Amino acid sequence: MNIIFFDILMPDNPENLFLPEWFPANFSEDEKSLMWRWESGHNIMPITPLSSDISAISTSKGIDDANSYFGLETKSQKKIINGYTYFASNSQPNDNKKLNHSYCENLDYKWKNDFLPKIINDLELMKQKLESIHDWELSKNIINEMLELNKNHWYIHMLIVIPLHQYTEEFFNYLKTFRPDLELTDLYNLFKGIKNKTIEIDQNLYNLKIKYDSKYSLDKDELLSDIESFNKSYGYRLVGFDLSDEIWINDPQIVFNLIKNLPINVFKKKVSNVDDTEKVIDLDTIISDLESENEKNQIKSMYSVLHKIWYLKEDHSFY
């Protein structure tokens, strides 16, 4: 029975909880008082046992370590129901704004000089170790090393995501005190066109699309060479979010299908965002009616910090 339960809201009195016999999950007494929500952002499709197990023994530990680093009290609980992921969370936010601000102000430097070099070095090490596997005992040791690296990378991942999201939310809420009609899309328009890995990938796919759409005859060797070159730079990414999904470099057909089947207008629209200077609302418009110089300077200061690290919303997940 393949059913998605979007939200599972427990009654105020857990004793009144009724679930039919066919319901594919059991809840402890403590769990019966929680609100369970389908995590549709990353797990829109059912996950495999492989992903679920690795998440439990590796990924989630890295996330918990990052929460501890920022003083967050992590009480998130997870359930897999019909393969879909559900969370019940009551984590408490970090109220130390000076720590968050200082951290975000230095996040670009820390990413470029600490986090990113470590990730790149680890990934290269992982590739070398995978190529060196020649017996079962060695493979077990290497798998354990991989799980440890995975935990560490998720730790780094969350050291980027948590403060970046908190700072973005704080900036948005601060702007809304002066512009109550401000929408989240307006906030994102303030940072539209900032270069990142996603835009870089789209640009390179667009270039390949232009190149091969303009050819009257197809040179297969040249096409395969171009796709291979593209995948060496951008091919280590999952098609989906499950560990069983293919990555581009293992299946060149994925990139070929993107070039062949996606209408050029789709590529053009993505790439045009880079040069699009027309914004629904800009920073000057937001602060134009403010009389307080302190408020203006505060907005400019927070905007400057976010503008410098906004690319990390995409780049942190590329690696």
- Chain-centroid distance of CA 209 in Å reads 26
- Residue 56: both structure tokens together: 């439990």
In this prediction, residue 6 carries a pLDDT of 55
In this prediction, residue 90 carries a pLDDT of 59
In this prediction, residue 3 carries a pLDDT of 53
Burial 79-97 (b: 16+ CB within 10 A, else e): bbbebbbbebeeeeebeee
List CB contacts of 124: < 8 A, sequence separation 6 or more.
Answer: none
Q: At what angle do helices 136-176 and 97-105 cross, to 10 degrees?
A: 110
Distance from the first to the final alpha carbon of the chain: 36
In this prediction, residue 29 carries a pLDDT of 78
**Contact criterion met (CB below 8 Å) for 265 and 282:** no
In this prediction, residue 275 carries a pLDDT of 46
Closest by CA to 240, choosing from 1, 46, 56, is 46
In this prediction, residue 19 carries a pLDDT of 67
> In the chain, what's the furthest Cα-to-Cα distance?
71
Cα–Cα distance measured from residue 171 to residue 299, given in angstroms and rounded to the nearest whole number = 8
Q: Cβ atoms within 10 A of the Cβ of 241, count?
A: 14
Per-residue pLDDT tens for 159-168?
999 999 999 9
Number of H helices and E strands in the chain, helices first, is 14, 4
Q: Partners of 36 in the beta sheet?
A: 8
In this prediction, residue 216 carries a pLDDT of 67
Q: Partners of 35 in the beta sheet?
A: 9
Per-residue pLDDT tens for 17-32?
556 777 777 888 778 7
* pLDDT, block means (10 residues), the chain with 319 residues: 54 56 77 81 81 88 92 76 80 55 94 97 88 80 90 96 94 93 90 90 90 77 92 84 84 88 76 54 83 92 96 91
HEC readout, 260-313: HHCCHHHHHHHHHHHHCCCCCCCHHHHHCCCCCHHHHHHHHHHHHHHHHHCCHH
DSSP state, residue 181: T
In this prediction, residue 276 carries a pLDDT of 47
Place of tokens 């060695």: 138
Q: Which helix (H) or strand (E) holds 171?
A: helix 136-176
HEC readout, 32-63: HHCEEEECCCCCCCCCCHHHHHHHHHHHHHHH
Cα–Cα distance measured from residue 21 to residue 70, given in angstroms and rounded to the nearest whole number = 42
What's the chain's Rg over C-alpha atoms?
A: 23
- Residue 81: both structure tokens together: 């129901």
